[in-house]
Amino acid sequence: MHEIAKMMKPPSYLFTLLAFILFASIFYGHDFSFIFRPHSNHETQTLFSSPEGNMYKRETKREEEEGCDVFNGRWVRDELTRPLYEEAECPYIQPQLTCQEHGRPEKEYQRWRWQPHGCDLPIFNASLMLEKLRGKRMMFIGDSLNRGQYVSLVCLLHQLIPEHAKSMESFDSLTVFTAKEYNATIEFYWAPFLLESNSDNAVIHRVSDRIVKKGSINTHGRHWKGADIVVFNTYLWWITGSKMKILYVSLLYFIQPIIYFLPHSFLCQCHCKTLAKVLQFFRHGSFDDEVKEIIEMSTEEAYRMALKSMLRWVRLNMDSNKTRVFFTSMSPSHAKYKLWGTILLMYIYGRSIEWGGEPGGNCYNETTPIDDSAYWGSDCKQSIMQVIGEVFRKSEVPITFLNITQLSNYRKDAHTSIYKKQWNSLTREQLANPVSYADCVHWCLPGLPDTWNELLFAKFLYS
């Protein structure tokens, strides 16, 4: 009996290994609970229904205010106070967003101001904003739409800073604007999924098969530590037209020394199913692996996973008493899309029929906002807004939701369209049909992203 009991006693190595795994999962903020769960087919779960067009009005409890809902309103023409700056006065705007420089014949898109119902937005005060940023590090994290908002904020502030006291530098995925006299930085970090992905190269990221690594937010998050104000966004890159491919994360780098010293007899004779599953898991997790363990998730489930990882990172790395965290909702497009292989491309026909335009059009040649207050573009997935509401409501992490989706939905006129730097030569067919290459995703500057920053300013200073 003594011999049997001795054989059944778990080896001390097992406790050492499992203890290290637990420590690493807590220290690095990864979610490894899925290791101990059986595989599922990850089909889309049933989401509670809501009236079409009203989902955008749902706010989490921490966002509900006794006063005015600044995200609910209308666009009014304003030639006195718009634009807030001139395109030529801001040298930081990328050539993809300089619509006047690239031949846009009118400036109507610059002359609209967002007017909430029942109240007014506070006037953007660049001097006050800079004072609030004194000694602080502000960071925008996400995709090119968040980069557009980042550049907009720099344009709104930089004229108050002497030329010798400001600079803009780029380091791979990170761009840093420094206001030296204020000891402040405003930064942008390219992470279109927030999690690690095979689209993380800040310059070359048009890959044919998008894959996101589960539990990998610290790959990027280590660069965010120390930020005082963070503005997250992520949406566009999740919309692939099919299920998302999720790569299992690996901790082999961290546990390899322990595995190396485990006796061969222990590894061969151990019948612990959990340990075997863990060890198998550790052998995968790199985008460069010839054999990858990849699962498919619905867009909604994958997006939920990313939001939960983001909130977990904030909880573990930011002091809610000293910092502010914002999350910007989806930015709409005004064009149809199709899937070519696994690359999402703008299609030749548009969505203009949705707002009462001629069939086959998109944002090209549009010069006025949509005046139908109930308009909600078909590209803005209600199910994603629902996921945001569900995840944020259940979280105890203090986060301010910037609900820019509905107000941006009206602005079919504000896209860069064809008035931007074209990185590839246009074909004769494209030149003959501008609708076919109009960019109806990104926004001219000055323009709509300035309003997003007015809303950010209001929430940052007065909420």
Quickly list DSSP for 285-336: --TT-SS--EEEE-HHHHHHHHHHHHHHHHHHH--TTT-EEEEE-PPP-SS-
Identify the weakest region by mean pLDDT among 25-39, 86-100, 380-394.
Answer: 25-39
The upper half-sphere exposure of residue 263, i.e. CA atoms within 13 Å in the direction of its Cβ, equals 8
Give the pLDDT score at 215: 87
**Average pLDDT of the chain to the nearest whole number:** 81
Query: Catalytic residue positions?
Result: 144, 439, 442
Residues 228 and 138: their CA atoms lie apart, in Å, by 6
The rounded percent of the chain whose pLDDT value lies above 70 is 72
- pLDDT per position as a tens digit, 16-47: 656 655 555 554 444 444 444 333 333 333 22
Higher pLDDT residue, 280 or 382? 382
Structure tokens at 458: 């209001």
Determine contact, residues 220/230, Cβ cutoff 8 Å. Answer: no
pLDDT greater than 80 at residue 9: no
Query: Which of 124, 126, 122, 187 lies closest to 157, judged by CA?
Result: 126
With vertex at residue 332, the alpha carbon angle to CA 329 and CA 334, rounded to the nearest 5 degrees, is: 175
* Highest averaged pLDDT of the listed ranges 54-58, 96-100, 265-269: 96-100
Say which residues have a Cβ less than 8 Å from residue 67's Cβ, sequence separation at least 6.
Answer: 119
Determine contact, residues 415/441, Cβ cutoff 8 Å. Answer: yes
pLDDT greater than 60 at residue 235: yes
Instruction: Point out which residues pair with 236 in neighbouring strands.
Output: none
- pLDDT per position as a tens digit, 399-435: 999 999 999 999 999 999 999 999 889 999 999 999 9
CA distances from 147 to 192, 383, 428, 440 (A): 10, 25, 31, 16
Phi then psi for 128, rounded to 5 degrees?
Answer: -65, -40
Residues 14 and 20: their CA atoms lie apart, in Å, by 10
Mean pLDDT of 50-76: 59
Mean pLDDT of 194-212: 79
Mean pLDDT of 317-341: 83
- pLDDT per position as a tens digit, 141-186: 999 999 999 999 999 999 999 999 999 999 989 999 999 999 999 9
Give the pLDDT score at 67: 72
Instruction: Point out which residues pair with 411 in neighbouring strands.
Output: none
Mean pLDDT of 92-116: 97
Give the pLDDT score at 391: 96
Residues 309 and 195: their CA atoms lie apart, in Å, by 8
Say which residues have a Cβ less than 8 Å from residue 157's Cβ, sequence separation at least 6.
Answer: 126, 129, 130, 179, 186
pLDDT greater than 90 at residue 138: yes
pTM listed for this prediction: 0.80
Determine contact, residues 446/155, Cβ cutoff 8 Å. Answer: yes
Query: Which of 59, 27, 29, 25 lies closest to 308, judged by CA?
Result: 29
Give the pLDDT score at 293: 75
Higher pLDDT residue, 372 or 342? 372
Give the pLDDT score at 18: 60
pLDDT greater than 80 at residue 233: yes
Indicate the residue type of 291. V
pLDDT greater than 60 at residue 281: no
Using the CB atoms, write b or e for 48-57: b if 16+ within 10 Å. eebeeeebbe
pLDDT greater than 70 at residue 291: no
Higher pLDDT residue, 301 or 20? 301
Determine contact, residues 111/77, Cβ cutoff 8 Å. Answer: yes
pLDDT greater than 60 at residue 63: no
Query: Which of 77, 96, 78, 100 lies closest to 87, judged by CA?
Result: 100
pLDDT greater than 60 at residue 451: yes
